[in-house]
Amino acid sequence: METRKREKYNVLIVGSGGREHALAMSVSKSRKLRKLYCVPGNAGISEIAECADIKAMEFDRIVEYAKEKEIDLTIVGPDDPLVGGLVDELEKAGLKAFGPKKNAAILEGSKAFSKELMKKYGIPTAEHETFDDAADALKYLDSAKMPIVLKADGLALGKGVLICNTLDEARNGIKEIMLDKKFGTAGNRVVIEEFLTGREVSVLTFCDGKTIRVMSSAQDHKRALDGDQGLNTGGMGTFSPSPFYTKEIDEFCREKIYLPTVKAMAEEGRPFKGVIFFGLMLTKDGPKVLEYNARFGDPEAQVVLPRMKNDILEVMEACVEGKLDEISLEFEDNAAVCVVLASKGYPQKYDRGFPIRGLEAFQGKRSYYVFHAGTRKTSKGIVTNGGRVLGVTAKGSDLKKARANAYKAAAWIDFDNKYCRSDIGKAIDEA
């Protein structure tokens, strides 16, 4: 592929959440940046990037826009366009992109694929069986041990995983996924897997198809309410690093999980370039993979990226060009905590359109960040426009200080129906 070589790049970010705002913040600090663009972006991103109203799944329009703006590198944030093949479309048009091609993004796009890959290459994960037929799945459940985990094969907005405590719940789950098609075609196949217990850790890595570089660990809080109660959400807060992810665990994972995954994908003719997000469970039998994602996690990116010392465009360019072996990643020796400010009622029903006050308090403060997720600019100022509205991140010399700082900063912001968990990062007290 022929691409222009320039000293400084025009960069386009695709996406509109807190993850993309955190990416935009990192890219905006790069020495290699000429001009930053984002589609569709949000109110926060538009402060540091030129945004255009093009949706992440409008591939033709994105390619057109990238050509028109002479984009040197497009960074694709969310799972849907990656799994749908946006990187392939950009490359076909002679444009450089950071992210896996369609044949590699399947690592996230199909749980049946990723489970088979792990089985074939001996990568530690929960025992599983895959079913295309509801009757077979129901028959299997009769002799299975409870609790058990049901996973719709395809993308289901992070909601396609059901943890079932009883046989009745599991039977009902199969009916919902495979017969009622609660998650659409994502439920044409189902993975039934062993229930694991332990601490969860999210580890993000950069990959260039053969080399892998591991970022600092993080932990997400997925449930809506304090004490890990309530419904699953896209994530109510994160902290980084995880004190439970020790050096020994890291060494084990590099040798038995991370590198074997990258090698397996290359061997299957699906070299992975981009970010592999390893969702791990630290079980008493050692770390096991719960899931792969083919992108940065959200809100994981909101605590990991502010701590990264490298120039992100240099790292991404090395991934695209297969030169990641020339890069070593460096992280600040501190901690970060992100508290998500949501709208009351999320993840179910909630209202939008409430003015947000206090955003200016973050201006000029070095270790405090406010990442926009669901916001909109109007004539009345910036208003709420989603379930997860903002991610407030603060750094500190250790996790406790970062947590105190994050909650202090979360109080600078005010809007009607504001809701956040009060125990993000509390688990660190047990470490």
Q: What's the Cα-to-Cα distance from 408 to each of 21, 367, 389, 404, rounded to whole Å?
A: 21, 12, 17, 6
Q: How far apart are CA 412 and CA 46, in angstroms?
A: 21
Q: How far apart are CA 52 and CA 274, in angstroms?
A: 24
Q: Of ligand AMP, ligand GLY, none, which one does residue 110 interact with (CB within 5 to 8 Å by kind)? A: none
Contact flags string 202-231 toward ligand GLY, x per CB under 6 A: ------------------x-----------
Residue 249, both tokens = 């665990």
Q: Which residues bind ligand AMP (CB under 6 A)?
A: 126, 149, 158, 161, 163, 193-196, 200, 222, 279, 290-291
Q: In angstroms, what is the minimal distance from the CB of 99 to ligand AMP?
A: 19
Q: How far apart are CA 310 and CA 335, in angstroms?
A: 16
Residues 6+ apart with CB under 8 A from 139: none
Q: How far apart are CA 405 and CA 411, in angstroms?
A: 10
Taking residue 133's Cβ as centre, other Cβ atoms within 10 Å add up to: 11
Contact flags string 280-309 toward ligand GLY, x per CB under 6 A: -------------x---xx-x---------
DSSP SS3 for 14: strand
Phi, psi (rounded to 5 degrees) for 386: -175, 180
Q: Of ligand AMP, ligand GLY, none, which one does residue 26 interact with (CB within 5 to 8 Å by kind)? A: none
Q: Which is nearer to ligand GLY, 86 or 290 (CB)?
A: 290
Q: Which is nearer to ligand GLY, 260 or 299 (CB)?
A: 299
DSSP H or E stretch at residue 335:
strand 335-343
DSSP H or E stretch at residue 88:
helix 86-92
Q: In angstroms, what is the minimal distance from the CB of 222 to ligand AMP?
A: 6
Instruction: State yes or no: cis peptide before 40, omega within 30 of 0.
Output: yes
Q: Which is nearer to ligand AMP, 20 or 220 (CB)?
A: 220
Q: In angstroms, what is the minimal distance from the CB of 136 to ligand GLY?
A: 29
Q: Of ligand AMP, ligand GLY, none, which one does residue 300 interact with (CB within 5 to 8 Å by kind)? A: ligand GLY
Alpha helix (H) residue ranges in 268-416:
301-304, 312-321, 399-410
Q: In angstroms, what is the minimal distance from the CB of 291 to ligand GLY?
A: 8
Contact flags string 234-253 toward ligand GLY, x per CB under 6 A: -x------------------
Residue 93, both tokens = 């048009």
Q: In angstroms, what is the minimal distance from the CB of 17 to ligand GLY?
A: 9
Q: Of ligand GLY, ligand AMP, none, which one does residue 116 interact with (CB within 5 to 8 Å by kind)? A: none
Q: Of ligand GLY, ligand AMP, none, which one does residue 235 interact with (CB within 5 to 8 Å by kind)? A: ligand GLY
Residues in touch with ligand GLY (CB under 6 A): 158, 220, 235, 293, 297-298, 300
